[in-house]
Every structure is written in structure tokens, then in C-alpha cells.
Chain A
């Protein structure tokens, strides 16, 4: 499978617990994005990486959220002390990021988080 892959597909956790999601982008894509999607809404931007550098973080991303892309390949998104409001689909996307024109984003299937 050469697409964007995310793990796990589903995560159920109790309020207050920490969770970590993983995203493997398309090989050789140097841009990686995290989005959050709630039911009936469009994806909301959270953060993105150019290689290993985190270039932008949304104001939606509270201090409880942290994302890493240590070697410029896969990325992890950690949510600490989860709250019920964190329940959502967390989508990862990647793009080749070559040149100056905007690149097409390819999305993974997402991780559905349910906080009880």
C-alpha cells in the first residue's frame, strides 16, 4: 500500500488518559499535515511539517496536543489528559512539497478517537 496510513483506526479511551496516533505518509512526501474532523464538519487544520520541522500550529492545538516527526518520515500526534471534546476523527495527509506551487494533499483513513 503506497498511500498514507494511520494507526490505529479506532481508539477508545477514558477521560484523562493519554493517547498517541501514528501516521506514515506517502514515501518521499516531505510535507505532512494533521487535521481533525468532527461529525458533519470539514477537516480543521491542526499542524504541519516540512520534513522534520513543524512549521505551523493552529490555535486549536492546545498545550495538551503535541506532534512530532523526528526523522522526517512518520509522525506521531499525542493528546495528553484527554477530554470528551477531543473525540473526533484525526486525519493525516501528505504532499510532495516540491517546488513553489501548492501540492495535492493525500489523506489517510484517519484515527477515530472516542473519549468516554
Chain B
């Protein structure tokens, strides 16, 4: 089955700096890769996703890149702000015979003013 690894587990940056979170997946058939942001005590919220037929996707200050050959994908946050502080989870899903998201272990991002 699918296995998703995520690094780093914690990340501290200064406001205005960039943050990068990386994930690797094991199942080469995986074809959908969302990222969720979870603030303390709140629900995970989808912030961006990418499908396997695309190498990069951007939405304002956040972007996701996908390298299918290496089976890894990354979240990039530019010009970080204190409100970006949260736990970020990557996930992967396989289209064939199952439709469940497998999540990484999360990255706690702290943005210091």
C-alpha cells in the first residue's frame, strides 16, 4: 500500500522568508497530491493540490511541485506571515481500486514576526 513520508517535522522561519516542506510517496500509481493546513484545534483544510499530469501549480504565495520519477512533491510558501503558522500535512491517493488519502506525519511551521 501507499506510504507517505514528510520532512521536516518542525520548521521555524522569520516572517517574510520562504518555507519548503517535502514529501515522498511509495506507490508509483498515486496520481493526486493534496496539502492540508491544520491550525490548533481546527479541522484540516485543503490549501492546494496537484495531479500527476502536472509538474507545478501555484496559488498566490503557495506552490506545489511534483517529481513523478523521484516520487516526491514539495510545498513552497513564499513571503511567510505569522498566520501561516500551523501544521501542514501532505497526502497521496491512488486512483485504482481505492480512493483513500494517505497522510504524511505533518510539519509544524512557526513563523516568527
Contact = CB atoms under 8 A, between A and B. Distances in A.
Contacts, number: 57
Tell me the interface secondary structure of chain A in the complex. Answer: loop
Interface string B78-111: 0000000000010101010011111111100000
- Which range holds the interface residue count of chain B? 20 to 34
Interface in B24-73: 31-32, 34, 36, 42-46, 49, 51
Contact of A102 (B4, B31, B44): B31
25 contacts: A4-B43, A31-B99, A33-B101, A40-B106, A42-B91, A42-B105, A43-B44, A43-B89, A43-B101, A43-B103, A45-B100, A45-B101, A55-B99, A56-B100, A97-B99, A101-B51, A101-B95, A102-B32, A102-B93, A105-B101, A106-B46, A107-B44, A107-B45, A108-B43, A109-B42
Interface of A: 4, 31, 33, 40-45, 48, 55-56, 91, 97, 100-102, 104-110
